[in-house]
Amino acid sequence: MFDLRLIRADALKLRRRRGMLVLCGLLTLGVVALMFTVSGIQHATNPSQHRPAGGFMAYHDAMFVLTMMMLVAGAIIGATAGAQDLESGVFRDLAATGRSRVALFGARIPGAWTIVLPIAALAAAATAVGSIALAGGLPTPDSATIFAATAGVLAAGALSAAVSVGLSALTASKAPVIATMLAFTLAIAPLLSGIGFLGDARQAIPTNALARIGDAPGQNVHMGLVTAIVVVVAWATAAFAAGAWRTRTREI
Amino acid sequence: MTPTLELHEASRRDAAAEVAANSRLPALDGLAVETRGLGKQFGPRVALDNVHLQVPRGCAFGFLGPNGAGKTTLIRLLLGLAEPSAGQMRLLGHDLPGGAAAALAGVGAIIEEPRFHPHLSGRENLGVHAAARERAAYGRIDGALVRTGLSARADDRVTTYSLGMRQRLGIARCLLADPELLILDEPMNGLDPAGIGELRELIGALVAEGRTVLLSSHLLDEVERTCDAAAIVDDGKVIAQGTISELTRGGPRAIDITCDQPARAASLLSATPAISRATDRDGRLHIELRPDAPVDREIVTGLLRRLLADGIAIERVSPVAVSLEQLFLAMTTRLEDRA
């Protein structure tokens, strides 16, 4: 189902979209750099009022923002990966080769991950380096914290991209998928997470599962790590199944 | 129904019957494409109805029909892009849809218009397509670019290509399969006259290599020059198929007679049973024969005797050659007229 040649081809299609890559770089690395730069300037100009830009707390704040931004960047890249063949009309020619449509679809998710995960890893690494380098006298994040938070960021990018690939196969268009993902991430998920009477059902909300994987402080929905991983895998699997079904049955 | 339409209906049925009777298509195992009773409905609309099509291997086969006749729908069914509502299909000896993967591995196709990722170069687009084919397809990219005259622009982004260059790139993409069968849907769109000539040569060369080319086109003159055989589709049905000469022989037959009194001669002959219409056309007597009329020589002898007996001087008698275009126009209905 996962053909390396098809995955490389999908990665190439994404890699050549320079505008998209620049935008995703700005949303992730750019935002982290901006946070450290602003905090650094504030600390340099008024050290008594502003703590150093790095340190343990700054690291967690930056990784929380980075996780949100990876959900957005993953949605942009995933929706593009999922819809670009259909939107350009090339999918019809690819399907006419006799190649399994599920194989063609299946290559899109790892193809998107080849772009999303390096961006996430680079941004997470930059955040860790900045937090340690700019810590001043503050405590710095230890390796276990960095490992967990980096895993959370990677999972956010991977999940967002996978779900977006699946949804864009359903809609055959990337714009509505990006809008839906943004709305869910930034508005619907926090709203649902804040509704107390939903109880343990809130564990199914993917942003809560990602917060648990990243071991983020201040989680308002508590769950085990295994549960969190199961929730993320379930969302990705459901999106893959829906996208594969629609790709297989679509008349083109 | 008007008399003109009745005439068209009659000539259509007769042409189809004659072509079927005279057909010299090879045995079934020599077919690149075969459909039996193929049908496709989109809701209440019937796009294809009981289509029987036979495309022999190793020839250029024209696939003709007016807009909305069902040409692209049939191509989509053959390529597994849509499911038929009824009937059976065989492609390169493989039953569809079960044998689609094996059959389509030997097919290169342009459907409607060639589409590409505009932000990739021509070479990269071919690479993307080759990834969906067998591994050897990568090794054919350079050869396909050379053969379609695109080598010099292969590394430019497709967004900078003209429509004609995209058509060429579409054909290059077809060649990546080393195809036994090429299905080309309007491949001459956007090509300049030189490009059309080159494509005609390329199709001829591909056929000479033993490949089959199924060419859908509105350029009937080009089809007549390029193809060995053709099928005409109208309103979802194949109404005629056979070699070009068989098809044109099945079309409306006519004779032009240069004489001194064409108008009088026309009125004199108009009631003759073998004649469907006799008119004074540009100072000549133009006679259209009924499809069931006897062979030309007997008719001509009888007509000339009749005219000479009435004192009409005859200067020249010439049969009117029927082109594929005339046949097409006589047999098919335009989309606007279908309602």
- What are the pLDDT digits (tens) for B143-199? 999 999 999 999 999 999 988 889 899 999 999 999 999 999 888 877 888 888 888
* Secondary structure of B200-240 as H, E, C letters: HHHHHHHHHCCCEEEEECCCHHHHHHHCCEEEEEECCEEEE
Per DSSP, helices labelled H in chain B are 3-22, 71-78, 100-104, 122-131, 141-147, 163-175, 193-208, 220-226, 244-249, 262-269, 296-309, 324-331, 335-338
Residue A29 C-alpha, separation from nearest chain B C-alpha, in angstroms: 25
B18: left (phi over 0), alpha (psi -120 to 50) or beta: alpha
- Does residue B151 fall inside a structural domain? yes
Whether residue A104 lies within 8 A of chain B, CB to CB, comes out as: yes
Examine the domain organization and report whether B42 and B190 are in the same domain. Answer: yes
ipTM of model: 0.88
Chain B residues with CB under 8 Å of A12 CB are 120, 124, 127-128
Better pLDDT: A234 or B226: A234
Strand partners, B230: B62, B242
B124:A5 CB<8 A: no
Sheet holding B229-234, edge to edge: B107-110, B181-185, B212-216, B60-64, B229-234, B237-243
Structural domain span for residue B162? 120-171
pLDDT confidence of residue B10: 43
At A65, is the pLDDT very low, low, confident or very high (cuts 50, 70, 90)?
very high
Amino acid identity of B119? H
Q: Which member of A6, A12, A84 has the closest CB to residue B132?
A: A6
Residue ranges of the domains in chain A? 4-249
Q: Which of A3, A90, A98 sits opposite B117 (nearest CB)?
A: A90
Q: Above pLDDT 70, what percent of chain A?
A: 100
Nearest by CB to A95, from B80, B116, B173: name it.
B80
Residue B330 lies in a domain: no
Residue B33: which CATH number? 3.40.50.300
Among A71-85, A186-200, B143-157, B231-245, which is the least confidently predicted range?
B231-245
Between chains, do A6 and B131 touch, taking CB under 8 Å as contact?
Answer: yes
At residue A128, the 3 state secondary structure works out as: helix
B177 and A CB contact within 8 Å: yes
What pLDDT is stored for residue B122 in this prediction?
Answer: 96
Query: What is the mean pLDDT of the segment spanning A28-48?
Result: 94
**Res B238: pLDDT:** 85
- B44 lies in a domain? yes
More confident residue, B2 or A75: A75
B78 shares a domain with B10: yes
By the CB < 8 Å criterion, does B124 face chain A?
yes
Give the predicted TM-score (pTM) of the model: 0.80
Contact B132 A8 (CB under 8 A): no
Q: For residue B332, is it within any domain?
A: no
B135 vs A: CB within 8 A: yes
Verify whether the Cβ–Cβ distance A92 to B80 is below 8 Å: no
Candidates B42, B81, B92, B116: best to mutate against A (most CBs of A within 10 A) is: B81
Tell me the pLDDT of chain A averaged across its residues. Answer: 93
Q: Do A13 and B120 touch (CB under 8 A)?
A: yes
Same domain membership, residue B151 and residue B281: no
Residue B114 lies in a domain: no
pLDDT above 90 (res A26): yes
Please tell me whether residues B217 and B261 are part of one structural domain.
no
Alpha helices in chain A (DSSP H): 4-15, 18-25, 31-45, 56-88, 90-95, 101-106, 108-133, 143-171, 174-183, 189-193, 206-213, 225-249
Residue that the structure tokens 């602003």 belong to: A38
Residue B7 lies in a domain: yes
- Ranges of chain B whose pLDDT falls below 70: 1-29, 250-252, 291-296, 321-323, 331, 333-339
Are A73 and A25 contacting, i.e. CB atoms less than 8 angstroms apart? no
Asked if pLDDT for residue A250 goes beyond 50, the answer is yes
What pLDDT, on a 0 to 100 scale, did the predictor assign at position B21? 38
Size of interface A-B (CB pairs under 8 A): 81
Residue A195: pLDDT over 70: yes
Residues B200 and B156 in one domain: no
Contact A11, A115 (CB under 8 A): yes
DSSP H/E element including B46 = strand B45-56
- Nearest CB to A98; choose among B76, B101, B120: B101
Whether residues B37 and B102 fall in one domain: yes
Nearest-CB residue to B128 (from A12, A17, A95): A12
B44 shares its domain with B136: no
Residue B228 covered by a domain:
yes
Tell me the helix, strand and coil percentages in chain B, rounded to 5: 40, 25, 30
Same domain, B220 and B259: no
Q: Is B127 on the interface with A (CB under 8 A)?
A: yes
Q: Is B220 found in the same domain as B80? A: yes
Mutate to test the interface with A, among B76, B77, B78, B79 (most CBs of A within 10 A): B79
Q: Which residues on adjacent β-strands are paired with residue B109?
A: B183
Please give the pLDDT value at position B333.
Answer: 63
Classify burial at A60, counting beta carbons within 10 Å of its beta carbon; exposed 0-12, middle 13-18, buried 19 or more: buried
Q: How far apart are CA B2 and CA B4, in angstroms?
A: 5
Task: Report how far residue B213's alpha carbon sits from residue B206's, in angstroms, rounded to the nearest whole number.
Answer: 8
Same domain, B75 and B220: yes
Question: What is the distance, to the nearest Å, from the Cα of residue A196 to the centroid of all Cα atoms in its chain?
Answer: 26
What would the mean pLDDT of A28-52 be, rounded to a whole number?
A: 94
How many domains, in total, are found in chain B? 3
pLDDT of residue B196: 86
Structure-token match 């960047």, residue found = A73
* Same domain flag for B205 and B316: no
In a domain, B30, yes or no: yes
Mutate to test the interface with A, among B117, B123, B171 (most CBs of A within 10 A): B117
Q: What's the pLDDT score for residue B187?
A: 86
The predicted pLDDT at position B121 comes to 96
Query: Is there a single domain that holds both residue B238 and residue B101?
Result: yes
